[in-house]
Amino acid sequence: MAMEPSILTSRWKIPDAHRIDVAMKHGAWATLPAALKMAPGEITQVVKDSGLRGRGGAGFPTGVKWGFVPPPEKRNGKPVYLVCNADESEPGTFKDRYLMWKDPHMFLEGIVISAYAIGAKAAYIYLRGEFGFVRRRVDEAIAEARAKGFIGRNILGSGVDVEVYTHLGAGAYICGEETALLSSLEGKKGQPKLKPPFPAVEGAWRAPTIVNNVETMAAVTWIVGHGAAAYREFGTEKSPGTKLLSVSGHVLKPGVYEIDMGIPMMDFIMDTAGGLRPGRKLKAVVPGGSSVPIMTPDEVARATIDYESIHEVSGSYLGSGGMIVMDDTTDLAEGLANLLRFYAHESCGQCTPCREGTGWMFRILKRVKEGRATDVDLATLKNLADNIHSKTICFFGASAAMPVQSWLKKFPDEFFGRVHRTGKVGYADVGAEPPGGDKPGGTTQAAK
Amino acid sequence: MTDQAHNGEKVAWTEQELAEIEEIASRYPSRRSAMLPVLWMAQHKFGWLSLPVLELVAETVGVPPSEARAVASFYTMLKKKPTGRYVLQVCHTLSCALNGAEEIIRHIESKYDFDENGNTPDGLFTLERVECLASCGSGPMMQVGEHYYERLTPEKVDEILAGFESGEPLPTPRPEADEWQWNLQS
Amino acid sequence: MPTVKVNGIEVEVAPGTNMIEAARQAGVDIPHYCYHPHLPVAGNCRMCLVDVEAGGRGPDIACNMQARDGLAIRTDTDNVKRMRRSVMEFLLVNHPLDCPICDQAGECRLQDYYMEHGQHHSRLADEKITRTKRQDIGDLIILDADRCIACSRCVRFSDEVTKTGELRLFNRTDHTEIGVFPGTRLSHHYQGCLADICPVGALTNKDFRFQKRSWYLRAEPSVCDRCATGCNIDVDHDHGEVFRYRPRRNDAVNKSWMCDFGRLSYKRLAAEDRILTARGPEGAEGVDAVLAGLAAAVDAAARDHGDGSVGLVLGTRATNEANWAMLRALRAAVPGARVFLVEGNDPDAFDYTDDLLVHADKNPNTAGVRLIAEADGAVGDAEALRAALADGGLRLLLVLADDVLARLGEVRRPEALAFFGTWANATSEAARWVLPLAAAQEVEGSFTNFQGRVQRLQPAIPAAGDSRPGQVLAAGLARALGEDALPAGAAGVFHDLAANVPAFFGLSLAGLGAEGALVHREPPTEQVAPPDTRPAP
């Protein structure tokens, strides 16, 4: 297996790398002076050329996103804002916390460079409320960088001003959604905004705003420092670069890993992440944070870790790179009920299908888990998920629907085995492949 | 508004706090963006966000009281009821659940009498089930104050809680488990 | 002007039009809860989800979709039907379904849309989430949070229209609950609008609730007469008994709103102080007998003391037609009669003014009467009337609608006073002749609001008691004075008015239109003949 790359994590092994003096001995803030000599458009072009895709979960090309900021003459005199999404709350994801904790200067440098590239004089780092301790560290790093002239007015004598502030949330998963994050930053309930308008045109305080993830900002530092071509030496054609994975669940070495995109998923789980406990078999993997569809062992065996392969092989997504590994001891009905409790608890309550539907799906799953449901409930569950997916203001609806749809589709026995069979509902009614001979009326008994 | 009682105290900012609020407000193009920071300050100062406290926050930020309450009601970390001195927030989302979060919660529940609001009668503890805290690789885990206690076992929980019972202060905030260091050893 | 297609029907709409409005113009109704034409778009109810055939990606919500060339949507697909059914189902999951005891029944969008778009067997096997019922949150409003569908219309109304911000959706998830800050109440004077815009039974109007099931009511268009704004209203009545006023949409005047003072003024139609019969020196008599007695007195005064001993005070609370007909009648019989206009508010006016709708002038037609007075050229003001009364030369004064004695304060009273009015007041008390003037909601005619907008009145209900429209009383007086050639009927009087008052040149009563018509600020130099809309004899 190829050696693990270390471009975003290069300083993580160095003791006290969060201190600027230590970090600078190992290359921190060395990219900024060169970047300030480039035209903003040149930086955007380098990021575009690198093919960097947003690392928060959606995977949208970062340089393209920056390109949506209207030119100064079309901004009605409004400033541009950069907002760094450090809300990291997708279950299974914890890489940004590590990144900010181990090497805050890496992403701070990227923030200043990115702000300069898009013409923002102020950048806000929105951290989830539980990250109070992370915020302290980032604030210390900002103060250090300010003292060195990397942040603030007239950075390094260039005439460029970039202020960087941290802003603490207060406990709401939805604030990881970029428009909800902006509502929260504006001091409101963290509820997503209607699109259009998109944030790049009308975001925070109705001004053009770019929202980028922590890891994305760190990657910008490396890309601008080393060039797009060097970055493309990692990863695949369509998924260039490295990716931070957060691995949890039933593996022996859970944690954060930086990988070269395109490596086989099974090898990563079984080797890098330490594999399963002795005697256990792989049951399922959620590869990109709890919202993405689940993968079967067969799919895991065929997939490589990059945006395209995961989707082609399994219909799932790389997402945030939060990989949850489940072995054969896992009760998937219990697991899905657990996730839907999460979504029912986190729905912002704004739009109808999500507000009412997530709680409803959870209540049904609770009954399934407790053995108080019928197969008709499973069909209802699947239908509710379909009725929520893509009918809502933001992507949260789909995020709650995809687990339901995919877990039922790929592991129907886990659910049919837990309910009273009325015979009115078959596997097809929950979107699953009927096992040999199954027809509505359900002649095949689920394994139990 | 500011002279209403809250836990028997006067609900008002000190001069120093007011100066701090002004500094915070100056970071944003709109004063109401200081809402969450001011709610946090209020919670730290008053312990929880009673109605008089919310009225103070609303007045400070320049919004109707209903708005301060709506915002406070949206976020789980903002407390609308009094809590114990140590709020034990145990994550029970999938990754932690796969590694025994329920066992940890049951263990804590067996140690004390928690009322319907999750508080112990002596006011020392509040037990809360919380959703994912981005510590999935080091679960089961709980947050107390700003500190993450990770890779919990019932024995470890006993040790931590005994410390709190004996009046031990909260540790310097930081994540406890350092997975990356752990990885390095391999 | 973008051209869009709705279900294949092409329609050209104004730039900035959203697709709910564009569809309406194409004759297609798109169901919606949260969208309101006079509130910011929230997009939360999802009832207006439509398929996008061309020019975009769908399904998407029509309320947040701006019309642009090439955009084509469909509302008649199976997918749209499914989405509507699904949204209905979600809305009802935690709704109490207490329709039998809910006063919104009959005008509830949950009911209406369920019949049209929902209707399937219930799949809900779990307990409903409940919220706080029956909260008294304002002088006019009862809140039942359990029925709320969280559309946020009332929140946006509080934020954007009254700017008081009392209402909020608290919490999140399906525990979202509408309410006010504990211990506070609604503080504004547009509370009734909250009940109007609430699409369900969460916010109901205390004054109306449980008074009448809405399906017994008929709505007739009219105009509010409680201030110079002239909010357009629907008069909801059951066989002439009025149960409420509701604002009727007029984007140029009151959008979809009206104040609570105006809203509750329907009670004045059947109030105890209403003047329902004619009264002369001998007590109650028929209208014609009282008019005959008054006419005789007018003749006698003019004969014995000269034309200048007879006077008329125009009425800022009466219609253009009442004023013009009275002026014409008196001037025809007594050319030298003195005419006055006394501006001011009567004691029965409510004491509240704001920048939203409630004008400081509490009379519905001050602007119209001013224009008539201006055209007449010989109308005196309050000071002139005071002087004329002080020297005793003015012996017989006819007063139209306004409580002139109260407006003048301490003043020498004329020897004889006639009052043409709707409600008893100081002037009617002092009058020798009292003629019952029908209320604005009972008559054909027009008011000119403070903007100079002439708005049409049509009888929403029959005139109470013996009361008659001003132009009818004026015609009766004219006949009694021997003047038979004057125009009669509201349309005829307005036609005559429009031919003689320059600001009204070119207008006709029937041609005023739904938004009314503005008078000419700078009167045209040449007279424009109004179209003759009078029915052929």
CB atoms within 10 A of CB C98: 13
Residue A15 resides in a domain: no
Chain C: nearest CA to A328, how far in angstroms? 31
Q: Which amino acid is at A32?
A: L
How far is residue C257's CA from residue C224's CA, in Å, rounded to a whole number? 12
Checking phi first, is residue A177 left (phi over 0); if not, alpha (psi -120 to 50) or beta? beta
CB A367 within 8 A of CB C126: yes
> Which one of A285, A303, A327 terminates a domain?
A327
Residue A150 resides in a domain: yes
Q: What does the block give as tokens for A247?
A: 């691995």
Residue A13 resides in a domain: no
Q: How many residues does chain C have?
A: 537
Measured between beta carbons, the chain A residues lying within 8 angstroms of C90 are 352-353, 355-357, 360, 387
How far is residue A307's CA from residue B50's CA, in Å, rounded to a whole number? 47
Measured between beta carbons, the chain C residues lying within 8 angstroms of B74 are 171-172
Using a CB–CB cutoff of 8 Å, tell me whether A390 touches chain C. yes
Using a CB–CB cutoff of 8 Å, tell me whether A364 touches chain C. yes
Give the DSSP H/E element, type plus range, for residue A388: helix A375-388
> Which one of A327, A349, A370 terminates a domain?
A327
**A67 and A94: one domain?**
yes
B66–C167 C-beta distance less than 8 A: yes
C181–B66 C-beta distance less than 8 A: yes
Measured between beta carbons, the chain A residues lying within 8 angstroms of B70 are 189
CA max distance for chain B: 60
Q: Is C521 exposed, middle or buried (0-12, 13-18, 19+ CB in 10 A)?
A: exposed
Using a CB–CB cutoff of 8 Å, tell me whether C164 touches chain B. yes
Residue A287 resides in a domain: yes
Residues whose CB is less than 8 angstroms from the CB of residue B181 and which lie 6 or more positions away in sequence, other chains included: none
Chain C: nearest CA to A416, how far in angstroms? 18
CATH architecture of C96-216: 2-Layer Sandwich (3.30)
The residues facing C446 across adjacent strands are C456
Coil vs helix vs strand at C31: coil
Chain B: nearest CA to C263, how far in angstroms? 27
**A90 and A196: one domain?**
yes
Answer yes or no: same fold for C3-91 and C219-270: no
C91–A391 C-beta distance less than 8 A: no
ipTM at complex level: 0.94
Q: Quick one: DSSP state of residue C517?
A: E
pLDDT of residue B168: 83
CB C234 within 8 A of CB C248: yes
| Residue C37: cis peptide before it, omega within 30 degrees of 0 | no
pLDDT of residue B1: 39
Chain C: nearest CA to B62, how far in angstroms? 12
Q: Of A247, A331, A322, A255, whose CA–CA distance to A290 is shortest?
A: A322
Q: Of C348, A361, C3, C519, whose CA–CA distance to C530 is shortest?
A: C519
Compute the C-alpha angle C442/C310/C429, nearest 5°: 55
- Domains of chain B, each with CATH number or no CATH: 5-74 (1.10.10.1590), 86-174 (3.40.30.10)
**A24 and A62: one domain?**
yes
Q: Are strands C433-436 and C416-421 parallel, antiparallel or unpaired?
A: parallel
Residue in the structure block whose two tokens are 């114990």: B84
CB C30 within 8 A of CB C62: yes
Q: Which amino acid is at A395?
A: F
At residue A105, φ and ψ (nearest 5 deg) are -70, -25
Give the DSSP H/E element, type plus range, for residue C492: helix C490-500
Probe site for chain C from B51, B59, B63, B66 (most C CB atoms < 10 A): B66
pLDDT per residue of chain A (448 residues) written in tens, 0 to 9: 445 789 999 999 899 999 999 999 999 999 999 999 999 999 999 999 999 999 999 999 999 999 999 999 999 999 999 999 999 999 999 999 999 999 999 999 999 999 999 999 999 999 999 999 999 999 999 999 999 999 999 999 999 999 999 999 999 999 999 999 999 999 999 999 999 999 999 999 999 999 999 999 999 999 999 999 999 999 999 999 999 999 999 999 999 999 999 999 999 999 999 999 999 999 999 999 999 999 999 999 999 999 999 999 999 999 999 999 999 999 999 999 999 999 999 999 999 999 999 999 999 999 999 999 999 999 999 999 999 999 999 999 999 999 999 999 999 999 999 999 999 999 999 999 877 544 444 334 433 3
**A293 and A353: one domain?**
no
Coil vs helix vs strand at C121: coil
**A223 and A257: one domain?**
no
How far is residue A146's CA from residue A139's CA, in Å, rounded to a whole number? 10
The residues facing C244 across adjacent strands are C236
Question: Burial letters for A194-211: b for 16+ Cβ neighbours within 10 Å, e otherwise?
Answer: bbeeebbbbbbbebbbbb
CB pairs under 8 A between A and C: 90
A171–B98 C-beta distance less than 8 A: no
**A353 and A387: one domain?**
yes
Coil vs helix vs strand at A211: strand
Using a CB–CB cutoff of 8 Å, tell me whether C143 touches chain B. no
**A149 and A279: one domain?**
no
CB C329 within 8 A of CB C341: no
CATH for A185:
3.40.50.11540
**Helices C109-117 and C78-93, interaxial angle, to 10°?**
140
A355–C41 C-beta distance less than 8 A: no
Q: What does the block give as tokens for A108?
A: 């701070």
**Helices A352-369 and A396-410, interaxial angle, to 10°?**
30
pLDDT of residue A445: 40
Using a CB–CB cutoff of 8 Å, tell me whether C171 touches chain B. yes
| Residue C40: cis peptide before it, omega within 30 degrees of 0 | no
> Which one of A327, A343, A376 terminates a domain?
A327
| Residue C199: cis peptide before it, omega within 30 degrees of 0 | no
CATH for A261:
3.10.20.600
Chain A: nearest CA to C505, how far in angstroms? 44
Using a CB–CB cutoff of 8 Å, tell me whether B54 touches chain A. no
Q: Are strands B147-149 and B142-144 parallel, antiparallel or unpaired?
A: antiparallel
Residue A234 resides in a domain: no
Helix, strand, coil % (nearest 5) of chain C? 30, 20, 50
CATH architecture of C281-439+466-518: 3-Layer(aba) Sandwich (3.40)
CB A233 within 8 A of CB A301: no
CB A258 within 8 A of CB A277: no
Q: Of C423, C427, C424, C433, whose CA–CA distance to C409 is shortest?
A: C427
pLDDT of residue B167: 86
C126–A391 C-beta distance less than 8 A: no
Q: Residue C107 — very low, low, confident or very high, per pLDDT cuts 50/70/90?
A: very high
Using a CB–CB cutoff of 8 Å, tell me whether C173 touches chain B. no
Compute the C-alpha angle C309/C314/C315, nearest 5°: 140
Using a CB–CB cutoff of 8 Å, tell me whether A9 touches chain C. no
Q: Are strands C49-54 and C60-61 parallel, antiparallel or unpaired?
A: antiparallel
Chain C: nearest CA to B170, how far in angstroms? 30
A335–B94 C-beta distance less than 8 A: yes
Q: Is A185 exposed, middle or buried (0-12, 13-18, 19+ CB in 10 A)?
A: buried
CATH for A337:
1.20.1440.230
Distance separating the N- and C-terminal Cα atoms of chain A = 39
Q: Is B111 exposed, middle or buried (0-12, 13-18, 19+ CB in 10 A)?
A: middle
**A225 and A290: one domain?**
no
User: What dotted CATH number matches C3-91?
Assistant: 3.10.20.740
- pLDDT lower than 50: segments of chain B: 1-4, 184-186
C166–B66 C-beta distance less than 8 A: yes
Using a CB–CB cutoff of 8 Å, tell me whether C168 touches chain B. yes
CB pairs under 8 A between B and C: 34
Using a CB–CB cutoff of 8 Å, tell me whether B78 touches chain A. yes
Residue A322 resides in a domain: yes
Where in chain C are the domains?
3-91, 96-216, 219-270, 281-439+466-518
Residues whose CB is less than 8 angstroms from the CB of residue C168 and which lie 6 or more positions away in sequence, other chains included: B66, B67, B69, B70, C155, C178, C179, C180, C181
Coil vs helix vs strand at C18: strand
Chains with ≥3 CB–CB distances under 8 Å to B: A, C
Q: Please tell me the pTM assigned to this model.
A: 0.94
Chain B: nearest CA to A124, how far in angstroms? 9
* Domain spanning C219-270, CATH class: mainly beta
Chains with ≥3 CB–CB distances under 8 Å to C: A, B
C166–B64 C-beta distance less than 8 A: yes
Q: Quick one: DSSP state of residue B75?
A: -
Chain A: nearest CA to C172, how far in angstroms? 5
Q: Are strands C396-400 and C310-313 parallel, antiparallel or unpaired?
A: parallel
Measured between beta carbons, the chain B residues lying within 8 angstroms of C162 are none
pLDDT of residue A48: 98
Q: What does the block give as tokens for C202?
A: 């969460």
Q: Of C26, A186, C40, A140, whose CA–CA distance to C50 is shortest?
A: C26
Using a CB–CB cutoff of 8 Å, tell me whether A170 touches chain C. no
Measured between beta carbons, the chain C residues lying within 8 angstroms of A363 are 126-127
CB-nearest to B136 from A13, A92, A185 is A92
Domain residues for A366?
332-447
Using a CB–CB cutoff of 8 Å, tell me whether C132 touches chain B. no
**A303 and A362: one domain?**
no
pLDDT of residue C120: 72
Domain count, chain A: 3
Coil vs helix vs strand at A364: helix
